[in-house]
Chains A and B, each alone.
Chain A
């Protein structure tokens, strides 16, 4: 009787190709991911079960916390155009370099008269600087002008409607939020988003 010789097969597979693919994907995701920018005004958003995502362009975010309002706008071109419109209205001059820096900046919360000082700071110091919030009372309603000019700039540059999101601190008193909603409603903005965290259920 002839003995049948079992061929010994190797159990290890060649992982090289798989490794290549995995690292290619990894590189892709690392490069496309955007680093989280530190916020000028950190807020603790309330939670909700609604899971609609915010749009990532043509969006203005009004961050409300400690009775202060900060303004942030997406898109460099739109930001620069908004700043130009604002500087025309308030007669505050900004150089081209300032405008470029403003285009890359995050949210801010200062009156336009002292905006230049914030622009001049380097990004690391900006969030440390004490920002008093954008004036929003009836005598000096810069917030309304920022929103209006941002809408004009969005329409000009991107031919789109500006979406407004309110990012309020959970412990903020309702009158402050109402004040901001009233400013929006005065401009006939009746639809906007409230930024919330995800509630675990």
Chain B
């Protein structure tokens, strides 16, 4: 197999030259190391390069108004999340004009310390209110025209993390909601939660 003939060919002299017996084995350890390193690399890159994806199901859209009936839901179970420009996020619980206690429109930040805490908290409250596992929280996501795709994916991700049973993307804005998002558009959003006055 891996043998090297390293015997010197300089035996031109008359006398019998005894060539020194050399070790013919080559140390393959380094080569094996390298090979396994490359294997690991190729294995990991082939499986990891496949893009992640998030599946999204939207409700049936029908232009026929008879089929498009308005559904009445309990206001105590619904949280509406408005996505504005510059990563602005406002949530309220119940109606925008008549929010339920503790659910007045309020700014939140994206991520672990922002909206996720609120979602978990509200989910628990809704569960206590209904006492029924099948009647969980309903979240209505309203991305405004100025919001970014990133905002939508972020909030959908929060839904998956928190485990909100029912959520929907709605594109209709009421005048009050537009005012909420546009009212203080000049203020620079901060990373921390800004309480609404």
Q: Are A190 and B42 in contact (CB under 8 A)?
A: no
In this assembly, does B72 line the interface, its C-beta being within 8 Å of a C-beta of chain A? no
- A residues 5-51 near B (Cβ < 8 Å) are 12, 15-16, 18-19, 22-23, 25-26, 29-30, 32-34, 36, 45-51
- B residues 47-103 near A (Cβ < 8 Å) are 49-61, 83
Choose, from A106-114, A137-145, A150-158, A192-200, the stretch at the interface.
A192-200
In this assembly, does B5 line the interface, its C-beta being within 8 Å of a C-beta of chain A? no
In this assembly, does B35 line the interface, its C-beta being within 8 Å of a C-beta of chain A? yes
Q: Which residues of A contact B45 (CB under 8 A)?
A: 33
In this assembly, does A185 line the interface, its C-beta being within 8 Å of a C-beta of chain B? yes
Q: Are B53 and A53 in contact (CB under 8 A)?
A: yes
Interface residue from A15, A29, A197, A198 paired with B43 (Cβ < 8 Å): A29
Instruction: Give me the 3 closest cross-chain CB pairs, A-B, nearest first.
Output: A15-B28, A22-B35, A29-B42
A195 to B51, CA, bound (A): 7
Q: Does more than half of chain A's interface fall in helix, strand or loop, or is it mixed?
A: mixed
Q: Which residues of A contact B156 (CB under 8 A)?
A: 48, 194
Q: Smallest CB–CB gap between A176 and chain B, Å? A: 8
Q: Are A174 and B152 in contact (CB under 8 A)?
A: yes
Interface residue from B29, B39, B154 paired with A29 (Cβ < 8 Å): B39
In this assembly, does B150 line the interface, its C-beta being within 8 Å of a C-beta of chain A? yes
Q: Are A19 and B153 in contact (CB under 8 A)?
A: no
In this assembly, does B145 line the interface, its C-beta being within 8 Å of a C-beta of chain A? yes
* Interface range on chain A (Cβ under 8 Å from partner): 35 or more
In this assembly, does A85 line the interface, its C-beta being within 8 Å of a C-beta of chain B? no
Q: Smallest CB–CB gap between A63 and chain B, Å? A: 11
Q: Are B60 and A190 in contact (CB under 8 A)?
A: yes
Q: Smallest CB–CB gap between A136 and chain B, Å? A: 16
In this assembly, does A87 line the interface, its C-beta being within 8 Å of a C-beta of chain B? no
In this assembly, does A172 line the interface, its C-beta being within 8 Å of a C-beta of chain B? yes
In this assembly, does B1 line the interface, its C-beta being within 8 Å of a C-beta of chain A? yes
Q: Are B157 and A26 in contact (CB under 8 A)?
A: no
Would you give the 0/1 interface string for B103-137, flagging 1 where the beta carbon is closer than 8 Å to chain A? Answer: 00000000000000000000000000000000000
In this assembly, does A95 line the interface, its C-beta being within 8 Å of a C-beta of chain B? no
In this assembly, does B191 line the interface, its C-beta being within 8 Å of a C-beta of chain A? no
Q: Are A194 and B28 in contact (CB under 8 A)?
A: no
Q: Are A193 and B38 in contact (CB under 8 A)?
A: no
Q: Which residue of B lies closest to A170 (CB)?
A: B150
- Additional A-B contacts beyond A46-B153, A173-B148 (7; CB < 8 A): A16-B1, A25-B39, A50-B53, A168-B153, A176-B149, A191-B55, A194-B54
